[in-house]
Amino acid sequence: MRLHVENLACSRGERRIFEGLSFALDSGDALLVLGRNGAGKSSLLDILAGRLAPAGGSLALEEAGGRSLSECLHYVGHRDALKAALTAEENLTFARDFLGSPALAPREALAALGLAHAARLPVAYLSAGQRRRVALARLLVAERSLWLLDEPTAALDAASQETLLRLIDEHRRKGGIVIATTHQPLALAEAKTIRIERPAPDRSAFVVADGEGA
């Protein structure tokens, strides 16, 4: 599988947020998207997830067995998008049924995130970090190759961050691709990085720098 992004541009309302953004990712790759508040990191994920139309450029998923980009991705936004009145397990059952391609059972996914004990609690009763872990457990209930993660470590304690890093490593080893926005250092092995930056006053173009490592 290969995700190819070419010369992508993003506008919000009348405002150009970024442009000229290009990268390519193959099976097993991870990309960290860096940039200050408001740079457009979440907007980039929104475009990749099909939630926002690009203002220019192209994105294509190749060698994906005929499946479209939207059929291949998991999106975990910085809002947890859980139903507060449902239990953790019910939220995951809903996600699995909605997404298709079932993988782990909801209880197994919760156990993988250290939340077996919370399966029958309404999500409204959970702490911020626990809700985050339920949202991340969605990654495990449906088999999807491209994980789009917006600030995935927000509200996670050190142990949960370790768990997430291990799950990401396992996903990549199986050929998955991960794109994560982050303000925190995220110790992903051999991750590529891009930084979305506003142009300096003496430059007319938006700058997108890329390189290796977090």
In the DSSP assignment, the letter for residue 116 is G
Under the criterion CB under 6 A, does residue 174 sit at the interface with ligand ATP?
Answer: no
Question: Of these, 1, 3, 30, 39, which contacts ligand ATP (CB under 6 A)?
Answer: 39
Under the criterion CB under 6 A, does residue 201 sit at the interface with ligand ATP?
Answer: no
| Residues 43-72 interacting with ligand ATP (rule: CB under 6 A) | 43
Residue 52 or 105 having the CB closest to ligand ATP: 52
Beta bridge partners of 33: 181, 194
Question: Of these, 37, 65, 66, 200, which contacts ligand ATP (CB under 6 A)?
Answer: 37
**Helices marked H in the chain:** 41-48, 69-72, 88-99, 106-112, 128-141, 158-173
Question: Of these, 41, 144, 171, 192, which contacts ligand ATP (CB under 6 A)?
Answer: 41
Q: How far is the CB of 193 from ligand ATP (least distance, A)?
A: 14
Amino acid at 7: N
For every residue of 66-98, DSSP letters joined together read: T--HHHHEEEE-SS----TTSBHHHHHHHHHHH
Ramachandran class of 41: left when φ > 0, alpha when ψ lies in -120 to 50, beta otherwise:
alpha
Please tell me the count of residues contacting ligand ATP according to CB under 6 A.
11
Question: Given the rule CB under 6 A, which residues bind ligand ATP?
Answer: 12-13, 17, 35, 37-43
